[in-house]
Amino acid sequence: MRRVIAALTKVLLAPFRLLLLLIVAPLAFVSRPVGTRVDSSPRISNVINQLSSSMATQRGLLLMVGTVLLIVSLVMHGVILVLMVSTDSFDQNLYWLCIPFTLLHLGVLAGFTGAMLATPLGQGYKDK
């Protein structure tokens, strides 16, 4: 009889244990500082150093990539809209506009990132 009661208790308390686990586990993960996990990796440190040194010599690269992506997005918008209107299938192929919109957002993101990194990276080696 005790085994049946113990089994029933475990079954009834299982959702509460799961809920407690879902609450406590993320808190234990967050309690450690994020910086110690990222900073302790030599692989990530090497990647950041290489990226920083290569970006210091090519500060305008991200701005150029962003500009090219914006131009490609503009051309694709025009071509896709002309094709959709000329074939009278505007409502059926509306998903094709996702490609230029994605390029537009990637171009703006790359441009903003390049503009934000241009000053902190400082003067390039070739500029000195």
pTM for the structure as a whole: 0.53
Residue 53 has what pLDDT? 75
Q: 81 or 121: which carries more pLDDT confidence? A: 81
- Max avg pLDDT among 27-31, 48-52, 69-73: 69-73
Residue 95 has what pLDDT? 79
3-state helix, strand, coil in the chain (%, to 5): 80, 0, 20
Residue 60, both tokens: 């305008």
Residue 24 has what pLDDT? 66
Q: 24 or 127: which carries more pLDDT confidence? A: 24
Those residues whose C-beta lies under 8 Å from the C-beta of residue 64, and which sit 6 or more positions away, are 114
- Residue ranges of domains in the chain: 58-118
Identify the residue whose tokens are 């407690």: 20
Mean pLDDT of all residues in 73-102 = 82
